[in-house]
Amino acid sequence: MIIDDRYYDVIIVGTGAGGGTLTHKLAPTGKKILVLERGGFLEKESSELVEVEVFKKEDYHAPEQWYDNAGEPFHPQTCYSVGGNTKIYSGALLRMREKDFEAVQHQDGISPEWGLKYQDFEPYYTEAEKLYRAHGKAGDDPTEPSRSEDYPFSPVEHESNIQDIGDRVSKYGLHPAYLPIGIGDEGRTDSEDTGVTPAIKDSNNVTLKTGAKVVCLHTNSSGSTVKAVETEIDGQSYLFMGDIIVLACGAINSAALLLRSANEKHPQGLANSSDLVGRNLMKHLMTVILQQSPQPNSGLFQRTIYINDFYWGDENFTYPMGHIQNSGGILQDVIFSESPPILSVAAKLMPGFGLKQLAKRSLGWWLQTEDLPNPNNRVTVKGSKLYLDYTPNNVEAHDRLLYRWQEVLKATDKQSRGIHPYGSVPIQVVAHQCGTCRFGEDPQSSVLDLNCRTHDLDNLYVVDSSFFPSNAAVSPALTIIANALRVGEHLIERLK
């Protein structure tokens, strides 16, 4: 074991939406910051490479195996690289709605209240939208929360066929809105280009180590603080020391790391006196709908439209149903490997078509419904193995959303050649994972306090999607980013 002789003010583990953003926020303090990232730098895919090969390779599924509750192994769809999952995300940057922070009755149970409210997050949402260059337009969606400032950039225009659908859906009486998207000079904004790279370039106090997988946290003898971060780099073990340790490994890996760091003082795992570490895993109920059209499209356009008319329910079903957005040009999604399921459905329907042709004659719709926190949906570790026990709930609400949207598509697009839902997103799709170390005021019912510091250890924080007590139905990244900025402000005060 090599003991690093430098001492850091802050050690951040992971560089995704949470860790990358926090690195950006803390860099100007001049404090000595070490960032440990298990992945390397991901090469940007050239559009020349778009084709089948990328799709077939299952790129962006992590090379390691996790196990489901039946003990079956799978490769999780998660990206280990500088920028984490923001390197492969779709850049949709949505705020949670005001009511999402309150207790909400769903058909299958209660989505719990947050210890902080929308107004507490609002200034950080504004900061996050500026930082990640959100392009959007307020005012079209009745569920949209209040804003202190307009979007920093005007919305990305719809491709003409999406504009047509949007117009028809409006005439039908719904309220399609521009999907807020983070776009920079080189495409979608991510936490490498926005957070980590500028932090390293503009300051000499931030050290990034890539290929650095944290395997265990060691505490002092009383167990009150984390003393050292054990990390594998090139097959060698290192110990890094710092005043403040921040985990931002993603909700599943942060929980697993805490559980793997069990010791005499923390026999159930670090920060786990509540027995809640790893529990309440949520990941959204998701379905993709493929809509075939006679006219070809470019296949490479952005997601630009969303519909929230069923978000809180409707006159026939008074419980929340969820959120709908277009999946973007399907070729575009092939690049980011999100849509192979869509294309495998299309391939069966139109045998003989190449993937590229299929993609150009298809539109995708992405439907997501809130799943409710259930302590039995959880991450556990046994030896070196990571298990996910996840049983979907709130399923009827999702089915109803699916039914409603198919009805709308049928009623508004008479030319459509078919509408094909592809449901039951499998266990390996953990794109919207959250909730495994929920925050709150009560150490018995939460893992983190409202500053995302663990109740049990004074210098240990978790700043990724783990902190969510519930996950709303909108996509999570902007809330993770806003929270990292919020916690960053707290840490800046603490570091003074």
Ligand X SMILES: Cc1cc2nc3c(=O)[nH]c(=O)nc-3n(C[C@H](O)[C@H](O)[C@H](O)COP(=O)(O)OP(=O)(O)OC[C@H]3O[C@@H](n4cnc5c(N)ncnc54)[C@H](O)[C@@H]3O)c2cc1C
Which residues contribute to the site for ligand X (CB under 6 A)?
A: 13-19, 36-39, 77-78, 80, 84-86, 88-92, 213-214, 248-251, 253, 257, 336, 338, 431-432, 464-465, 475-478, 480
Of 158 and 400, CB closest to ligand X? 158
Of 349 and 450, CB closest to ligand X? 450
- The Cα 338–Cα 431 span in angstroms is 10
Least distance (Å) from ligand X to the CB of residue 186? 17
- The Cα 259–Cα 278 span in angstroms is 8
Of 39 and 176, CB closest to ligand X? 39
The answer to whether the CB of 112 falls within 8 A of the CB of 469 is: yes
Per the rule left: phi > 0, alpha: psi between -120 and 50, beta: everything else, 173 is left
Q: Which residues of 405-444 are buried (b: 16+ CB within 10 A; e: fewer)?
A: bbebbeebbeeeeebbbbeebebbbbbbbbbbbbbbeebe
Q: Residue 194: is it exposed, middle or buried by C-beta count within 10 angstroms (0-12/13-18/19+)?
A: buried
Least distance (Å) from ligand X to the CB of residue 475? 3
Least distance (Å) from ligand X to the CB of residue 120? 19
> In 3D, which of 231, 327, 321 has the Cα closest to residue 284?
321
Least distance (Å) from ligand X to the CB of residue 387? 16
- The Cα 214–Cα 257 span in angstroms is 8
Strands 66-67 and 33-36: unpaired
Of 85 and 308, CB closest to ligand X? 85
> In 3D, which of 479, 286, 251 has the Cα closest to residue 377?
251
Of 27 and 400, CB closest to ligand X? 27
Of 50 and 107, CB closest to ligand X? 50
Least distance (Å) from ligand X to the CB of residue 466? 7
- Bridge partners of residue 401, in order along the sequence: none
Least distance (Å) from ligand X to the CB of residue 51? 18
- The Cα 40–Cα 37 span in angstroms is 7
SS3 category, 251:
helix
Residue with tokens 């957070």: 195
Of 120 and 230, CB closest to ligand X? 230
Of 207 and 416, CB closest to ligand X? 207
Least distance (Å) from ligand X to the CB of residue 190? 9
Least distance (Å) from ligand X to the CB of residue 384? 12
